[in-house]
Structure formats: structure tokens, C-alpha cells
Amino acid sequence: MTQQPNIEEVRRIPMMAVMLIGAFVGLLNETLLATALPSIMNDFGIQENQVQWLTTAFLLTNGVMIPISAFLIERFTTRQLFLTSLSIFALGTLIAAISHTFELLLVARVVQAAGSGIMLPLMMTVMLTIFPVEKRGAAMGMAGIVISFAPAIGPTLSGWLLEFFSWRGLFYVVLPIVVIAIIVASMFVKNVTKLTYPKIDILSILLSSLGFGGLLYGFSTIGGHSGESSDGLSQTALFIILGGAIILALFIIRQIKLKKPMLEFRVFRYPIFSLSLVITMIVLMALIGAETMLPLYMQNTRGFSALEAGMMMLPGAIVMGIMSPITGMLFDKYGAKWLAAIGLTIVTITTYFFTNLTMDTSYTLLVVVYAIRMLGLSLVMMPVMTAGLNQLPQEWHPHGTAMANTFQQVSASIGTAILITVMTSAAKNYQPEQAALAGLSEEEAILQVANNASMSGFNTAFWLATALSIVGLALSFFLSSKPKTKEQQEKIA
């Protein structure tokens, strides 16, 4: 039995507005605790390796829920799924705000992520359903504000709030917004997605959770502990990654054999979808280069505060937020090919600039170059993703959005792990020039060697990010020049 969506009766603007708000607060919470972790450590008397689980557990749960979202979207109505996911997120936020133990706070983060992991794929599927092909660029551009701006603003917002409130205030600020969103959603969110009522396949859910979860946990562990003298930890992480990859392979084999799979891997039969996904993954890995390396460079090497590091990235986040709807409209008119090519050219040049960081690089210059880099990224992210999703027939949209969001999570984890590993290895293997140390005291010489080694690490990591950007730029020329019309898309389908 299949339920057909009634698109004509949908009030698009208020419905999408409340769904954008829901997805925004969900993604915001990925990075909201970034600058609050030291305060939480002090309150609960825990160490860094424990408190980091507040972020890791959130990302892991998110990564596990996203692949399952395709099944849920086809099983439950739009209203049921969105209101339930928002309510679960609100419950997690409330528990977090009143948590009196670290263990309860960790449970609260998992509950939050269980709700937020559904909201973004659902929002994107609804957009593809209620907007015709020729208007999807502008609609997905609005989604781009959420995807890019929310995680970027998290550290800055939390740094500012912590100037006035305790870490609990971060959750108390979010909670009323979510409650209002639930009330508004109950009035404006309509049932638009098509229901096919697939059967629950417990084995697929287990394989998906263990496979994607294993990959995300393994890579996040390597990324979070590179540089520490812990060979056993690295070997364990590699074992988990290998195990996750094997389980994921079994999951894929099962999905191909099932008549109604939980996650449809045949979406990769569409070349432009596959190409757009590869480009998006490459761009995200390069993006992680700046969002991970620059705060470390500013705080650990240059001595800036967490708030100063967050403020440095704020103009870039604002630029990307402003540009996302604009690039969406440009996509509707010109397609993804040249937007992506121009954007990746900007990303490549600005990433190359970061390969020459020094102890004297000015704060203003970092702000300007990072903002220009985010301008380039805004020309790439949503246009390329929309171009790929436009290739898919409507019944595969839930699977396409779930696949895109899942692989974004995986590529972000892989990018972080690889870039931090390269950074720490380059710093460790740095060989100082003895001539440059002549005339310095022992203390001055040690400090200069440490600073130069750190610079070598950051610059080498950005060289790799530059190379990734060049690969993405080359691939962008294989995208379609113009967006598909409705008739062309139906012919492809």
C-alpha cells in the first residue's frame, strides 16, 4: 500500500521554515559544547578522554540514525516523524540541562542525537518532494544555511554564552526554541512524503549501525588521539575501522539482495549522483582541514583564547550563510558545473595560502582568507549536492538524501583523522636547521624548535587539503552544465 503526497495543499514556506529551524538546532548541537568541555571537566572532575565522549557519542548516534532515516521516512508520515524527532531532541536537551552526573549528560547527548539524526535527511527529502526541479536550487540553498552555518556558529555562540552562564545555559537557551518549533510544526507540517511501508529488517539495522558506527568511531578515535604515545590505541582504532568496513560490506550485499532494501545502493547507478557525492566528500575533507587545524593553530601555537579562535571563524560562517540561498538561485539558472569550478578554484587558492602559516601571520589576514574560502565553499556544497539528488527518481529521494548525509559524516571523520595524523607526523619528524638556532639560549632554542615543528605540521596538513581541493576541481568539470528540466529528469528516471 502506498500513500501519495498531496503537494498542492502544502503551504511550503511556513512548513520549510519550521523544518529548517529544527534541523538548525540539531546541527548546532554538534559543535555547541566545543568551548564548554573544560567547564564540564571541572564540574564533574573528569579527564579529556572522558569529556570528549559528549561530542563523539553525539556524532556516532547521528551517523547511525542517518542511514536508518530512509527506512523511517518510508514507514512513517512526515508529521509523525518530524514531531517525534523534535520531541526526542527536546527530551534530550532537557535531560542535559538538569544532568547532575556525567553519565546522565552522556545519555542526554545520545537522546539528542537520536532525534537530530532524522531531521536533516527528512528536511531534504521534503524539499525534493514539494519543490519542482527548476526551483530546488533556491530551496536547497536555504538548507545550505543550516548545514554550513549551524556547526560553524556553535563554538562562537557557546564561547559567548559561557561569558555569562554555566554550560547548562547552553541547553536552556536551545530548549525553548525547540518547544516553540514543536508547537509551530504541529500547525504547519503536512504529510508529503510517499509511504511504501517497508518491512522492518532487524539484521539490516544491526549491520548498518555496527558498520557505519565502527567507521565513524574508528576514524574519530584516530583523529582525537593522533600524536599521543598510544600505539595500542591506534591499533585498536584500525581494528575497529577494519571490522566496520567488513560489516558495512555485508550490509551492502544484503541491501542489494533484498527486494525492498533499507538503504537503496542502486542510487549509485546514476553517474552524476555518484560524482556529486565524491566531490562533496572531497570538499568536506578539505573544509575540515580549516575548521580543525585553524583553532588548534590559534590556541595551542599562537596562544589565542577559544573565543578569539571562534570569532576568527565567525565572518566566514556568516558569508556562507548569506551566500547559500544566492548560490541556490544561481544553480537554478546556470547549473552546478561552473559554480563548482569557480568555488573550488577559490577553495584551492585560499587553502594554499594556509600552507604558509607562521608565528607572525596576522589575525585580520586569517579572518579575511577564511571568509573568502567559505565564499568558495558556498558555491560548491549545495549546488553539487542538489545536482546529484536531481538525477534520482522521486521514490529514491529518501535513500539519496540518507546516502548523501551518511557519506558526509564518514568523510568528515576520515578527513579529520587523516589531516591530524599528517599534522602530528610532520611535526614529530621536523628537523631544525642548526644555523637558525645559532646565538640563542637553550630555552629560546627549544621554544623556536617547538614552534617551527608545529608550523611544519600545520602547513603540511594544509598541503594535503590543497591537493584534495585540486582533485575536486578537476572532477567538477564532469558535472552537467545546466540543471535538468522536469521532462529531462523524468526521461532519465
| Alpha-carbon gap, residue 72 to 78, rounded angstroms | 10
Query: 219 with 245: CB under 8 angstroms?
Result: no
Residue at 6: amino acid letter: N
What does residue 3 show for φ and ψ, rounded to 5 degrees?
-100, 125
Number of structural domains the chain divides into? 3
Shared-domain flag, residues 159 and 281: no
Shared-domain flag, residues 50 and 153: yes
CA angle 257, 262, 263 (to 5 degrees): 85
Task: State which of 170, 198, 226 marks the end of a domain.
Answer: 198
**Which CATH number covers residue 103?**
1.20.1250.20
Query: 376 with 343: CB under 8 angstroms?
Result: yes
Shared-domain flag, residues 333 and 482: yes
Mean pLDDT computed over every residue of the chain: 83
Sign of CA dihedral 199, 200, 205, 206: negative
Shared-domain flag, residues 207 and 311: no
Write the pLDDT tens digit of every residue in 362-404. Answer: 999 999 999 999 899 889 988 898 889 888 888 888 888 888 8
Give the mean pLDDT of 3-19.
68
Query: 78 with 193: CB under 8 angstroms?
Result: yes
Shared-domain flag, residues 229 and 90: no
The 10 Å CB-count burial string (b at 16+, else e) for 403-413 is: bbbbbbbbbbb
Shared-domain flag, residues 215 and 186: no
Task: State which of 162, 180, 198 marks the end of a domain.
Answer: 198
Query: 138 with 329: CB under 8 angstroms?
Result: yes
Residue 41's CB is within 10 A of a number of other CB atoms, namely 16
Shared-domain flag, residues 327 and 429: yes
Shared-domain flag, residues 443 and 317: yes
| pTM, two decimal places | 0.80
Write the pLDDT tens digit of every residue in 197-248. Answer: 888 889 999 998 899 888 888 887 775 554 444 455 578 888 888 999 999 9
Give the mean pLDDT of 37-46.
84
Shared-domain flag, residues 376 and 460: yes
* Structural domain harbouring 226: 201-261
Shared-domain flag, residues 147 and 192: yes
Q: In a 10 Å sphere around its CB, with 0-12 CB exposed, 13-18 middle and 19+ buried, how is residue 103 labelled?
A: exposed
% of the chain surpassing 90 pLDDT: 28
Shared-domain flag, residues 206 and 189: no
Write the pLDDT tens digit of every residue in 106-151. Answer: 999 999 999 998 888 898 888 888 888 877 888 888 787 777 777 7
What Cα–Cα distance (Å) separates residue 36 from each residue in 51, 165, 416, 441?
A: 10, 11, 21, 38
pLDDT over 60 at 491, yes or no: no
Shared-domain flag, residues 118 and 97: yes
